[in-house]
Structure 1
């Protein structure tokens, strides 16, 4: 039995949950630093006298950094290891977030937000690749969705920081708090193991065998006496053309459309949400309260997706959540009283973030070890293009008559279109090993 097969035969143990929590906390800090800007913008727009177009640029510039970070970190993770890149990007985005608190004008904030985005975009595909490569096939979907659920916790933390800190102490302090996760790198470096497929790809067979043996012992399984490496030992670096080979071309097209659509919708909606609600006449404090409730609704969305993804499959869960989110966005855009806005906003958060959990489960499953982080990074990078466009497009649209309604009509159409593409082009990967799926 080769090392990868042995790894996939190890049942879920405390190790898997510990890895989930450690990487998940890094993911939470990632989301916290992403979310803080959304809550700072309404105050910053008033203090600095920013136009809606400038606010849109601030929302977009981080996504430019995320696009570049996603591509470069995926390649670096396949070359230098998941653990090293995870740690480096954690430090980068945390320090850059702290620098945002020192920004003295619009241009300096743009520069610092670009650096934040570069680090954030670099960490996400690496973290999900690491968790997916350790989780057993029967539990992989659930584990990756649970990893993504830490994103909701991070946005909740950002909302709480903003609600409690910004009104009393100013927007700078919120950014300074966002720099604290840099200290977490010491825990990551000490506790996170390197990826087994990565070690094998680099010829470090003995190191991979020792790691798997420890996992087997912790699960009450007698470790194998002999060391058998998988047959495929292709360690040449991944290149762009690999994503367009015959067996991957449909997967790549589907993933790129999926990522573009879901990132476009997410950052277009949630980066602007506090500002949009202030524009509808709600006070800053009341807006923070409503968005806090909507953010809380993200968590059960993740848990529902985690339950369904290994039962009814990736395609059905993802398509269904995207379509439901589209319906909620439509009704949210119709406005109404506070209770109606709060209900549809909460349901929109529920389905959107549940879909995100499945996206992060699904993406690395569709590529082999050699290009897994690289392919995931490229898909995420294409998604960031959508994220770059969305805040700016919304900034222009809200200046028009009935802009609020038109913005959410646009997001309804985008998400419905993506749901159809996933259903038509997606391949089901539920319960299959990574070798079986991506060969």
Structure 2
């Protein structure tokens, strides 16, 4: 067997578990940051006398940083390797979220939030490329979904920190400790990631078969700390940033379209759901500030269930069925949420929100493994980054559009619009269902060169 076939035939071992946990924590940190800021923005608004527009920019600047980090660092991961980038991205995140704890005014917070988000956006590309390339084909779908299911864990952790740290300590201290906690988690994770080797598939694209053989042999012999191997990187000949992008758009336009539409749909739907919940639904049913973190904890338990369902189905039912079904169910659950708001009962709203979170989370968790595996190795991280960058436009614009519709026409029409965002992803899977490739159980190389590619 050749190197990639050997990599796909290795039984699951401790090494794969270490990779899954070490890379999954990147998604945990992203969710932690987003949730913590949502919980402390009202404190910052009072402390620094911010207007509503300034407070909203603390949230919106995050998506700009994610776009820059995902696309820009996606190219760098294809150019310089996965390992260097998933260590650098964690360093960028850890340093700047730690410095965020010392923000002294609105302007410093904005700069540091932007830089922190660049590090997290870079994680999207490096992590998903690495997971696709390390995990055996028969486990790739459920492992990719499991990695991303660290997101609701991070959201729950942030809610707990909000309850027992932010809400307990003095207002000027609590939010700073919360950001410092994120930096502590990042530092601990970096120690684990330092032992993960370079992707053998990336080494092969560089013509470095000797080191690729060394890494694959180490995985076969169940050596969990392969990162101690000194992997020499021979300079390959990848295109420059624009060359990589041009090759993606001209040779693989359908794959870029699928990745971009799936990510735009889920980002607009997911972030739109949470923004609308905070801005309109919870105030509309008079949920007190003290109960809000518990509301998110229950909702994210539903997210864990949805992510688990996606992980179980991707390698059984396949990508072509799992992804569109979750997107359609997410749209339907949002319509149920719209109906629940008319009751003005927090119990019904909580139940509907939790159900919506089940399918919303299952949607994007099934989507990422699907579009991460369809790009060739030398373009994979760039392709993921471009897809994520397109998606962040949805995350950025959806709350603004939903706010306008809610103010002009009411909550129910706005939630109907939110449901329609999920239909974009379902529609994008229709042509892929008939003409695209099915990744279930298939080697990555076959998805690019095999029948139907």
What's the TM-score once normalised by structure 2's chain length? 0.88
The aligned residue for residue 405 of structure 1 is 412
Deviation of the 1:267 alpha carbon? 1.8
Q: Does 1:273 align with 2:277?
A: yes
CA–CA distance in structure 1, aligned partners of residues 375 and 85 of structure 2: 20
**Matched residue SS, 1:37:** helix
**Matched residue SS, 1:191:** coil
Deviation of the 1:149 alpha carbon? 0.7
CA–CA distance in structure 1, aligned partners of residues 49 and 349 of structure 2: 28
The aligned residue for residue 305 of structure 2 is 300
Alignment of 1:420-439 (within 5 A): 420-426=427-433, 427=436, 428-439=438-449
CA–CA distance in structure 2, aligned partners of residues 86 and 272 of structure 1: 33
Deviation of the 1:332 alpha carbon? 1.5
Q: Does 1:290 align with 2:298?
A: no
Alignment of 1:113-128 (within 5 A): 113-128=113-128
CA–CA distance in structure 1, aligned partners of residues 395 and 115 of structure 2: 16
Deviation of the 1:199 alpha carbon? 1.2
Deviation of the 1:315 alpha carbon? 2.1
Alignment of 1:244-255 (within 5 A): 244-246=249-251, 248-255=252-259
Contact 1:329 1:409 in 2 (8 A): yes
CA–CA distance in structure 1, aligned partners of residues 351 and 37 of structure 2: 24
The aligned residue for residue 136 of structure 1 is 136
Comparing 39-48 and 405-414, the one that deviates more = 39-48
CA–CA distance in structure 1, aligned partners of residues 263 and 43 of structure 2: 30
Comparing 264-273 and 157-166, the one that deviates more = 264-273
Given candidates 408, 423, 426, the residue that maps to 1:416 is 423
Q: Does 1:259 align with 2:259?
A: no
CA–CA distance in structure 2, aligned partners of residues 115 and 258 of structure 1: 26
Deviation of the 1:145 alpha carbon? 0.4
Comparing 389-398 and 77-86, the one that deviates more = 389-398
Contact 2:261 2:424 in 1 (8 A): no
The aligned residue for residue 98 of structure 1 is 98
Deviation of the 1:384 alpha carbon? 1.3
The aligned residue for residue 228 of structure 2 is none
Comparing 296-305 and 184-193, the one that deviates more = 184-193
CA–CA distance in structure 2, aligned partners of residues 46 and 395 of structure 1: 22
Comparing 410-419 and 276-285, the one that deviates more = 276-285
The aligned residue for residue 351 of structure 2 is 343
CA–CA distance in structure 2, aligned partners of residues 65 and 71 of structure 1: 10
Given candidates 196, 199, 204, the residue that maps to 1:195 is 199
Q: Report the number of matched residues.
A: 424
CA–CA distance in structure 2, aligned partners of residues 102 and 401 of structure 1: 41
CA–CA distance in structure 2, aligned partners of residues 306 and 290 of structure 1: 25
Given candidates 367, 372, 383, the residue that maps to 1:364 is 372
Contact 2:258 2:371 in 1 (8 A): no
CA–CA distance in structure 1, aligned partners of residues 412 and 180 of structure 2: 35
Structure 1 unpaired stretches of 5+: 220-232
Residue deviations 1:222-273 (CA, integer Å, cap 9, x gap): xxxxxxxxxxx98433611211234x22221122111111112222222453
The aligned residue for residue 71 of structure 2 is 71
Comparing 260-269 and 424-433, the one that deviates more = 424-433
Comparing 333-342 and 35-44, the one that deviates more = 35-44
Structure 2 unpaired stretches of 5+: 224-234
Contact 1:397 1:406 in 2 (8 A): yes
**Matched residue SS, 2:168:** helix
What's the TM-score once normalised by structure 1's chain length? 0.90
CA–CA distance in structure 1, aligned partners of residues 108 and 413 of structure 2: 32
The aligned residue for residue 226 of structure 2 is none
C-alpha RMSD over aligned residues: 2.2
Contact 1:42 1:284 in 2 (8 A): no
The aligned residue for residue 179 of structure 1 is 183
Comparing 103-112 and 299-308, the one that deviates more = 103-112
Question: Alpha carbons of 1:333 and 1:95: their partners in 2 closer, same or farther (altered >3 Å)?
Answer: farther
Deviation of the 1:319 alpha carbon? 0.8
The aligned residue for residue 211 of structure 1 is 215
Comparing 130-139 and 383-392, the one that deviates more = 383-392
Deviation of the 1:400 alpha carbon? 4.2
Contact 1:66 1:121 in 2 (8 A): yes
Contact 1:6 1:212 in 2 (8 A): yes
The aligned residue for residue 107 of structure 1 is 107
Comparing 25-34 and 324-333, the one that deviates more = 25-34
The aligned residue for residue 230 of structure 2 is none
Contact 1:39 1:274 in 2 (8 A): no
Residue deviations 1:165-193 (CA, integer Å, cap 9, x gap): 22222333322322223312541343211
Question: Alpha carbons of 1:391 and 1:50: their partners in 2 closer, same or farther (altered >3 Å)?
Answer: farther
CA–CA distance in structure 2, aligned partners of residues 131 and 407 of structure 1: 37
